[in-house]
Homo-oligomer: A and B are copies of this chain.
């Protein structure tokens, strides 16, 4: 390192080959900055897990070099790990005002008292170690989103954050993506582009957020009774459009759901949301207005079991009951994995007599991520030497790499990497040179990282066929059974209907014990193995199931 000038290292710690827990490290010598620090929601194969955060071992090992964490926007998959990470690594956090507003709420909820949050505005530049970091306005499904430019001794790096090019943003002309700054950077020469790949398999352009407002208008025009709109609470522009449409149709608006209320309050306070005096009403007051004069804004667009809309659908909400005549707009598409939950919610709403507007074709939702033509424009504006696709499942990264190649970036200058890969760039050459610790840390209740693969494997086995606990009390000195075997099962069969099976199972355990020739010298481990094997085999033959078998020996 001393002889050759240090190269730039780019190390994704999350967000590659997955949607979520975005986190990218940029390192030059003894200076490190981190872009984003997100969480991921658990996959199907992580039962009981609440959320997943990146493994930051690498940063903890290099804690003295970490100058700051920079945030691109306020979505969970970009800021959601901070309440956990800041407890271990308290460094300054830079972000735009709305981003830090939302983060502040989360830190408070998680009892993180001390955090050094430094607000910036699009257009600002800050010096962090050797790095000059710039914030560039982009459009996304949350206001105040920025791309990040990082001037380094080797060259400039541009990280797009999540973006789309919305030519008619809801918040006005001056909030269009800063094309001029991007063009300027491209003119000056960019070493590497790191870019959002979420929609890299979609052709064309992503539709403007503004069109959703037009579709709201259409639904409002036809609705005779109450209107209930479920959306992502962080989509402040969507909320603004719902509120504007409500005003136009002389309806009052009630807001329900913890995250919706919390983000509306922050957005109002910071001026990202404009609501006419008297338009908002308390949810308890909706009964005072005719149904044709009410709009309810709520969470639950993903069918989450505890969210307000889901509870309304299940007739389990304290304050709102769905009645025939209600029109429900689900202004979101299901995040992959949530399809069934959303579909169930829609069905229950229909059963309660509501009209539900939900499908993609109805135009009541648009994506916040750039489609192929926008990605091409970004590449052509930035004209980078090297390209690293970020933020996407493997197929998205691959398609984005292909797109860059089609635009003329040489294959050897494109790096489809994995989390933990160290991509080293000099002015002329790049390579993946090594790998640092990276992965997922599971959060379950108050436990961070105390559930791992063995615990998950056990949970999965338990969920498939349940458990049989076999208890034996053995007199150690005499080497004989003094109580048991007792068998208790959970999640296996209805015991009452399977008495014979359980009797025979006990018999099998006795046979296993006989085989072990129980005496004062017998090893408990041998008994356990024998019980597990014989009973397991018997149960599989009889039921074709493989419950967990847990032999417990008590010594007296």
Q: Which of A's residues lie within 8 Å of B, judged by CB?
A: 17, 43-44, 47-48, 201, 203, 336-337, 339-340, 343, 346-348, 350-351, 356, 359, 361, 393-395, 398, 444-447, 450-452, 454-456, 458-460, 462-467, 469, 471, 473, 482-484, 486, 488, 490-494, 497-498, 542-545, 548, 550, 552, 554-556
> Chain B contacts of A550 at CB under 8 A?
469, 488, 490
> Chain B contacts of A543 at CB under 8 A?
444-447
CA distance A542 to B446 in the complex (A): 7
Question: By DSSP majority rule, is chain A's interface helix, strand, loop, or mixed?
Answer: mixed
Which of B203, B444, B497 is the one whose CB lies under 8 Å from A361? Answer: B203
B494 touches A451 (CB 8 A): yes
13 intermolecular pairs with C-beta atoms under 8 Å apart: A17-B347, A44-B44, A48-B466, A48-B545, A337-B339, A444-B543, A447-B545, A455-B466, A459-B463, A459-B491, A469-B552, A473-B483, A483-B554
Question: CB-nearest residue of chain B relative to A543?
Answer: B445
| Distance to closest chain B CB from A354 (angstroms) | 10
> Chain B contacts of A491 at CB under 8 A?
48, 455-456, 458-459, 462
B490 touches A452 (CB 8 A): no
> Chain B contacts of A456 at CB under 8 A?
491
CA distance A498 to B350 in the complex (A): 47
Question: CB-nearest residue of chain B relative to A399?
Answer: B350
CA distance A492 to B44 in the complex (A): 17
Question: CB-nearest residue of chain B relative to A50?
Answer: B544
CA distance A542 to B452 in the complex (A): 18
A447 touches B48 (CB 8 A): no
> Chain B contacts of A459 at CB under 8 A?
462-464, 466, 491
CA distance A544 to B447 in the complex (A): 8
> Chain B contacts of A395 at CB under 8 A?
343, 346-347, 350, 356
Q: A451-B494, A552-B486, A554-B484 are in contact. Are A445 and B545 (CB under 8 A)?
A: yes
A47 touches B446 (CB 8 A): no
CA distance A395 to B493 in the complex (A): 34
| Distance to closest chain B CB from A522 (angstroms) | 17
Q: A466-B459, A490-B462 are in contact. Are A544 and B446 (CB under 8 A)?
A: yes
B350 touches A463 (CB 8 A): no
Given A347-B394, A462-B490, 6 additional A-B pairs, CB 8 A: A47-B464, A343-B393, A343-B395, A445-B545, A458-B490, A483-B556
> Chain B contacts of A356 at CB under 8 A?
395
> Chain B contacts of A450 at CB under 8 A?
493-494, 497-498
A201 touches B447 (CB 8 A): no
CA distance A471 to B348 in the complex (A): 44
| Distance to closest chain B CB from A20 (angstroms) | 13
CA distance A461 to B460 in the complex (A): 11
CA distance A398 to B356 in the complex (A): 11
B398 touches A350 (CB 8 A): yes
> Chain B contacts of A463 at CB under 8 A?
47-48, 459-460, 462-463
B394 touches A351 (CB 8 A): yes
A467 touches B490 (CB 8 A): yes
Which of B203, B340, B494 is the one whose CB lies under 8 Å from A454? Answer: B494
A482 touches B48 (CB 8 A): no
> Chain B contacts of A471 at CB under 8 A?
471, 552, 554
CA distance A14 to B505 in the complex (A): 36
Which of B47, B201, B361, B483 is the one whose CB lies under 8 Å from A555? Answer: B483
CA distance A550 to B486 in the complex (A): 13
Question: CB-nearest residue of chain B relative to A458?
Answer: B491
Which of B339, B486, B488, B494 is the one whose CB lies under 8 Å from A336? Answer: B339
> Chain B contacts of A346 at CB under 8 A?
395
CA distance A166 to B490 in the complex (A): 51
CA distance A356 to B402 in the complex (A): 13
> Chain B contacts of A44 at CB under 8 A?
44, 340
| Distance to closest chain B CB from A168 (angstroms) | 26
Question: CB-nearest residue of chain B relative to A444?
Answer: B545
Question: CB-nearest residue of chain B relative to A460?
Answer: B463
Which of B462, B498, B544, B552 is the one whose CB lies under 8 Å from A467? Answer: B462
Top 4 A-B pairs, shortest CB-CB distance: A445-B544, A463-B463, A462-B462, A458-B491
CA distance A427 to B456 in the complex (A): 60
B337 touches A340 (CB 8 A): yes
Question: CB-nearest residue of chain B relative to A469?
Answer: B469
> Chain B contacts of A454 at CB under 8 A?
494
| Distance to closest chain B CB from A393 (angstroms) | 5
| Distance to closest chain B CB from A83 (angstroms) | 14
> Chain B contacts of A394 at CB under 8 A?
347-348, 350-351
CA distance A492 to B47 in the complex (A): 11
> Chain B contacts of A203 at CB under 8 A?
361
> Chain B contacts of A339 at CB under 8 A?
336-337, 339
Question: CB-nearest residue of chain B relative to A464?
Answer: B48
Question: CB-nearest residue of chain B relative to A539?
Answer: B445
B556 touches A43 (CB 8 A): no
| Distance to closest chain B CB from A468 (angstroms) | 11
> Chain B contacts of A340 at CB under 8 A?
43-44, 336-337
Question: CB-nearest residue of chain B relative to A555?
Answer: B483
Q: A394-B351, A463-B48 are in contact. Are A455 and B554 (CB under 8 A)?
A: no
CA distance A462 to B460 in the complex (A): 9
